[in-house]
Amino acid sequence: MANEKKSIDELSMDPSELFREETITDRKVGTIRVLTPINADGAHDAGRETIYAGETQIMTPMGALPIAFQIEADSLQKAVEAYGDAGKAAVEKAVKELQEMRREQASSIVLPGGAQGGMPGAGPGGGIKLP
């Protein structure tokens, strides 16, 4: 169901894509979600790779912003070791996206009365007519 939009009538789980989820934390920085592939009967599916996903949060003026990121690793030990670099990259990406969103919002300010050029009242319906 990844990246697919389904209607409520089509809501179902794919028995070939099941994972058992385990949460690992140091109770300081964040968590690592270990997604172990399983079959529909709950047995480990050795034909698929375990997925390691990191989670942390950053504080913004509007509150905590959760950050989730993939950790490239083939064991929990390697995922723990790679957590810092993967987390830093995810936080940097999120900060850049926030800055871009802020720039887009600042450039889309709508002035009342359709004012143009920064002059209040100028333009259609503004009451001031320029020669």
Q: For the purposes of burial, counting CB atoms within 10 Å of the CB of 54, is it exposed (0-12), middle (13-18) or buried (19 or more)? A: buried
The confidence band for 92, taking pLDDT boundaries of 50, 70 and 90, is very high
pTM above 0.85, yes or no: no
Distances (CA, A) of 88 to 1, 64, 74, 92, 95: 28, 16, 20, 6, 11
Average pLDDT over residues 84-112: 87
What is residue 64's three-state secondary structure? strand
pLDDT in tens, 18-63: 999 999 999 998 999 999 999 999 999 999 999 999 999 988 888 9
pLDDT at 129 over 70: no
Q: How far apart are CA 58 and CA 36, in angstroms?
A: 27
Paired residues of 18 in beta bridges: 38
pLDDT at 121 over 80: no
pLDDT at 86 over 50: yes
Question: Percent helix, strand and coil across the chain, each rounded to 5?
Answer: 30, 30, 40
pLDDT at 109 over 80: no
For 5, half-sphere exposure in the C-beta direction (CA atoms, 13 angstrom radius) is 0
Q: How far apart are CA 68 and CA 47, in angstroms?
A: 25
